[in-house]
C-alpha cells in the first residue's frame, strides 16, 4: 500500500481501531483476573499484541491479546509454580512458536481435529464460568472446577442480603447487571451502533452505579505507573526450566496458543476478501510477542477471534487498525489509569462469565453430528475431562480418541466370499485396509473355501495390505489344494512384487 492509499484508508482504520480498543479494554483486565494475575498484566499483553505483533503479523486483520482460552492453563500454572515462573515458561513457549514458524510448521498446528478444539474451548468455558461466578460475588475462586461447583451454594448463601451480610450481594448484582446488558445489547442494539461493544457498555454502566451509590465492592487495582506492573524475568528462574513439569507446561502452552491463533486466523480469512493469512509468519510473530510478554512477566497471548471479528466488521482493511488499538490501550492506561481503578471487579467477572458461556458452542456440537457419533463423543469427552481433571489431560484424551478413530477406520476391512457363474470358481472380495488385525477373520473365510476351488482375489478396492495378510494368502495357496488367482490392478506398486510370487504359487 502506497502513501496515497494509506492516507485514504487512515480514517477507516482509526475508527476500526477505536472499536477494537473498546472491546479489548475490559477483556484484557477480565482475563487477567480470571488467570489469577493483576489486571495490569493483561493490559501489557494487549499493548504488545497490538503494537508489536500487529506490525509483524502474517494475518493483518487478526488482533492479538490475552485469550480466555488460556486463562485456565495460566491460573493452574500460577497456582502450582508461582507468578514468577510464568515468565520463563512463556519465554520458552514463545521461542518454540518462533522456531515452528521459521521451520514452516504453521500448517501442522491446524491438523488438530475440530472436535478436540471445540471440546477444549467448551471445557475452558465451563471452568471460566465456575470460577468467575465466585469472583462475581467478591469471593476467591477454588483451584479446580469441581471445587468451584461444590462451593457455589455456600458462596451464594454468604452473599444473600440478610442481616450482617457483607457486600457480596451488591457485587453479584453488578455482575448480573453486566451480563444482562451484554445479552440485551447483542439482541437489541441499533444497526448504526453495532460497533459499540456490549461488554464496554455493561462495565461502564456498573462503574457509574458503583460510584454513584458508593458501593463497598472490590475494584480493579491498576498502578498509576504501568512500569510498576512489569516483573522482569530473572536468570535464576530460567535455570528452573530444567524441571520436566515446566518443560511440559511450556510445550502445552505453545501448542494450545498456536492452535487457537491459527484457527482464529483461518476464521478471519473467511470474513473478508482481502489479503490471506501467512500462517508461518503469524506463528513467528506470536512467538516474538509471547517472548516479550515472558520477559516482562505479562500474560500469554493468542490471536483472538472476538477482537478480530470486531476489527473486520468495523471495516478494517490493513494491519494499521490492530497496531493503533495497542496504541489506544497504552494511551488510556497512561493518561486515565485512575478511571480503571473505579471499575468493579464483579463487573469484569460478569464479562468473563458471559464469554465463558459463549465458548460452549452447542451449534458446533450439532454440526459435528453429520460426521458421525465419534466426533460428538470426542467433543464431550474432551470437555468433561478438562472440567474434572486439567486442560492438558483433556486435550491429550481428545487426541487419543481421534487417533483411535483413525486406527479403527484404517483397520476396517469388508470380506465377502461370492460363488461365480463358472463351476468351482469363487471370488474373495476385499474392501478397505487388510492389516494383521483382520488375519483371524480372513483365515476363517479362507477355511470355508472348498478344496479344489479356483479363488479369485481382486485387490482394486484395497487401500492397503500388509505382509501378514500377504503371507496368509501365500500359505493358504500352498496348503489348501486350491488355486489362487490375484488380480493386481489398482494395487499400490510397493506390494505388487510380493504378490507376483503369491499369484504364481
The DSSP code sequence of 161-219 is: --TT--SHHHHHHHHHHHHHHHHHHHHH--GGGTTS-HHHHHHHHHHHHHHHHT----B
Q: Model's pTM, two decimal places? A: 0.74
Quick check: 357 and 175 in contact, CB under 8 A?
A: no
Cα–Cα distances (Å) from 180 to 22, 49, 161, 192, 205, in that order, read 19, 30, 20, 21, 11
**Residue 470 falls within a domain, yes or no?**
yes
Q: How far is CA 359 from CA 131, 326, 355, in A?
A: 15, 25, 6
pLDDT at residue number 496: 37
Within this chain, do residues 321 and 246 fall inside the same structural domain, yes or no?
A: yes
Count of beta carbons in the 10 Å neighbourhood of residue 273: 8
Whether residue 23 sits in one domain with residue 114: yes
Question: Parallel, antiparallel, or unpaired for β 462-465 and 483-487?
Answer: unpaired
CA-nearest of 120, 29, 22 to 350 is 29
Among candidate residues 287, 227, 231, the one with its CA nearest the CA of residue 87: 231
Cβ neighbours around 182 below 10 Å, total? 22
Residue 47 is predicted with a pLDDT of: 96
Residue 92 lies in a domain: yes
* Domain boundary residue, one of 315, 343, 359: 359
Amino acid 317: pLDDT: 87
On whether both 88 and 223 belong to a single domain, the answer is: yes
> Domain for residue 2, yes or no?
no
> Of 505, 439, 100, nearest to 291 (Cα)?
100
Q: pLDDT tens digits for 193-218?
A: 777 788 889 999 999 999 999 988 98
Residue 319 CB contacts under 8 Å (≥ 6 apart), including other chains: 54, 55, 57, 60, 61
State whether 48 and 174 are in the same domain: yes
Domain assignment of residue 436, given as a range: 413-503
pLDDT in tens, 363-413: 888 888 888 888 899 999 999 998 888 777 888 898 899 888 877 776 788
Dihedral Cα 26, 28, 29, 33, nearest 10 deg: 130
230 in the same domain as 303: yes
The residue among 328, 359, 390 that closes a domain is 359
Whether residue 394 is contained in a domain is answered as no
Beta-strand (E) ranges in 104-235? Answer: none
374 falls within a domain: no
Q: Does the residue 184 lie in any domain?
A: yes
Say if 426 falls within a structural domain.
Answer: yes
User: In sequence order, what are the residues at sequence separation of 6 or more whose Cβ sits closer than 8 angstroms to the Cβ of residue 157?
Assistant: none
- Distance (Å, whole) CA 273 – CA 472: 56
Which CATH number fits the domain that encloses residue 444? 3.30.750.24
**Are 352 and 417 part of one and the same domain?**
no
Beta bridge partners of 419: 426
Please give the Cα distance from 305 to 299 (Å, whole number).
17
DSSP state of 139: -
**Per-residue pLDDT in tens (0 to 9) along the chain, 505 residues:** 556 655 667 788 888 898 889 888 888 998 998 888 999 999 999 999 999 999 999 999 999 999 887 888 899 899 888 888 999 999 999 999 999 999 998 877 666 777 887 888 888 889 888 888 988 988 888 777 788 888 888 888 776 665 555 578 888 999 999 999 999 998 888 888 777 788 889 999 999 999 999 988 989 888 878 888 899 988 888 888 888 889 999 998 998 899 889 888 887 887 888 888 999 999 999 999 999 999 999 999 999 888 888 888 878 888 999 999 999 999 998 888 888 889 999 998 898 888 888 888 888 888 888 888 888 999 999 999 988 887 778 888 988 998 888 777 767 888 999 998 888 889 999 888 888 878 888 999 998 888 888 888 888 888 888 888 888 888 888 887 778 887 765 554 334 334 444 443 3
* 346 dihedral zone (left: phi>0; alpha: psi -120 to 50; beta): alpha
Q: Among 323, 341, 359, where does a domain finish?
A: 359
Tell me, yes or no, whether 376 lies in a domain: no
Helix, strand or coil for residue 413?
A: strand
* Cβ atoms within 10 Å, residue 227: 9
Counts of helices then strands in the chain (DSSP H, E): 21, 7
Which DSSP helix (H) or strand (E) runs through 4? Answer: helix 3-34
Whether 445 and 329 map to the same domain: the answer is: no
**What 3-state DSSP class applies to 417?**
strand
The count of structural domains within the chain is 2
What residue spans of 240-343 are helical by DSSP H?
244-269, 279-296, 305-313, 320-340
Element (H, E) at 226: none
- Annotate 55-121 with DSSP letters as a single string: HH-SSTT-EEE--GGGHHHHHHHHHHH-GGGHHHHHHHHHHHHHHHHHTT-GGGGG-S-HHHHHHHH
Closest by CA position to 122, among listed 385, 404, 403, 400: 385
Residues in the chain: 505
Do 229 and 122 reside in the same domain of the chain?
yes
Burial class (CB in 10 A: 0-12, 13-18, 19+), 327: middle
Q: Are residues 343 and 418 in the same domain?
A: no
Torsion of CA 134, 135, 138, 142, to 10 degrees: 50
Q: Distances in Å between the alpha carbon of 477 and those of 431, 503, 505?
A: 20, 9, 7
Query: What angle separates helix 39-48 from helix 279-296, to the nearest 10 degrees?
Result: 140
Give the H or E element holding residue 503.
Answer: helix 496-503
Same domain, 252 and 355: yes
Strands 413-419 and 425-434: antiparallel
Q: What is the DSSP string of 258-272?
A: HHHHHHHHHHHHTT-
- Asked if residue 318 and residue 441 are part of one domain, the reply reads no
Q: Are residues 187 and 120 in the same domain?
A: yes
Q: How many CB atoms are located within 10 Å of the residue 155 CB?
A: 21
Amino acid at each position: 500500500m502506497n502513501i496515497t492509499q494509506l492516507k485514504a484508508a487512515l480514517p477507516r482504520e482509526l475508527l476500526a481501531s477505536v472499536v477494537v480498543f473498546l472491546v479489548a479494554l475490559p477483556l484484557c483486565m477480565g482475563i487477567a483476573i480470571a488467570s489469577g494475575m493483576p489486571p495490569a498484566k493483561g493490559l501489557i499483553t494487549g499493548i504488545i499484541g497490538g503494537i508489536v505483533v500487529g506490525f509483524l503479523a502474517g494475518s493483518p486483520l487478526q488482533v492479538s491479546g490475552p485469550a480466555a482460552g488460556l486463562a485456565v492453563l495460566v491460573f493452574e500454572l500460577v497456582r502450582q509454580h508461582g507468578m514468577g515462573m510464568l515468565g520463563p515458561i512463556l519465554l520458552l513457549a514463545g521461542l518454540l512458536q518462533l522456531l515452528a514458524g521459521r521451520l514452516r510448521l504453521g500448517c501442522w498446528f491446524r491438523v488438530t481435529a475440530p472436535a478436540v478444539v471445540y471440546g477444549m474451548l467448551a471445557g475452558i468455558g465451563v471452568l471460566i464460568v465456575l470460577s468467575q461466578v465466585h469472583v462475581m460475588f467478591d469471593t476467591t475462586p477454588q483451584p479446580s472446577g469441581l471445587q468451584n461447583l461444590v462451593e457455589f451454594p455456600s458462596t451464594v448463601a454468604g452473599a444473600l442480603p440478610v442481616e450482617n451480610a457483607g457486600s457480596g450481594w451488591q457485587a453479584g448484582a453488578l455482575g448480573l447487571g453486566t451480563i444482562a446488558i451484554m445479552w440485551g445489547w447483542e439482541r437489541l442494539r441499533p444497526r448504526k451502533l453495532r460497533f459499540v461493544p456490549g461488554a464496554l457498555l455493561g462495565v461502564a454502566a456498573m462503574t457509574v452505579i458503583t460510584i454513584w451509590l458508593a458501593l463497598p465492592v472490590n475494584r480493579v487495582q491498576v498502578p498509576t505507573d504501568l512500569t510498576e506492573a512489569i516483573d522482569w524475568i530473572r536468570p535464576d528462574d530460567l535455570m528452573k526450566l530444567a524441571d520436566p513439569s515446566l518443560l511440559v507446561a511450556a510445550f502445552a502452552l505453545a501448542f494450545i496458543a498456536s492452535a487457537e491463533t491459527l484457527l482464529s486466523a483461518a476464521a478471519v480469512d473467511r470474513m473478508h476478501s482481502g489479503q490471506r493469512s501467512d500462517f508461518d509468519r503469524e506463528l513467528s510473530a506470536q512467538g516474538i510477542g509471547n517472548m516479550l510478554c515472558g520477559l516482562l512477566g505479562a500474560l500469554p497471548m493468542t490471536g483472538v477471534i472476538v477482537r478480530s471479528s470486531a476489527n473486520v466488521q468495523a471495516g478494517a482493511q490493513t494491519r494499521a487498525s490492530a497496531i493503533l488499538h495497542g496504541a489506544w490501550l497504552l494511551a488510556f492506561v497512561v493518561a486515565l489509569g485512575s478511571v480503571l481503578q473505579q471499575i468493579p471487579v464483579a463487573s469484569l467477572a460478569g464479562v468473563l462469565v458471559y464469554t465463558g458461556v459463549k465458548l460452549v458452542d452447542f451449534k458446533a456440537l450439532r454440526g459435528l453430528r453429520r460426521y458421525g457419533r465419534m466426533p460428538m463423543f470426542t467433543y464431550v469427552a474432551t470437555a468433561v475431562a478438562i472440567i474434572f481433571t486439567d486442560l492438558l489431560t483433556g486435550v491429550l484424551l481428545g487426541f487419543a480418541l481421534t487417533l483411535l478413530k483413525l486406527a479403527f477406520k484404517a483397520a476396517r476391512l469388508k470380506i465377502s466370499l461370492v460363488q461365480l457363474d463358472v463351476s468351482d470358481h469363487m471370488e474373495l472380495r476385499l474392501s478397505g485396509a487388510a492389516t494383521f488385525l483382520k488375519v483371524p477373520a480372513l483365515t476363517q473365510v479362507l477355511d470355508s473355501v472348498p478344496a479344489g476351488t479356483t479363488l479369485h482375489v481382486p485387490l482394486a478396492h484395497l487401500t492397503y495390505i500388509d505382509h501378514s495378510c500377504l503371507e496368509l494368502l501365500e500359505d493358504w495357496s500352498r496348503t489348501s489344494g486350491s488355486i489362487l488367482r490375484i488380480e493386481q490392478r489398482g494395487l499400490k506398486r510397493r506390494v505388487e512384487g510380493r504378490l507376483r510370487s503369491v499369484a504364481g504359487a
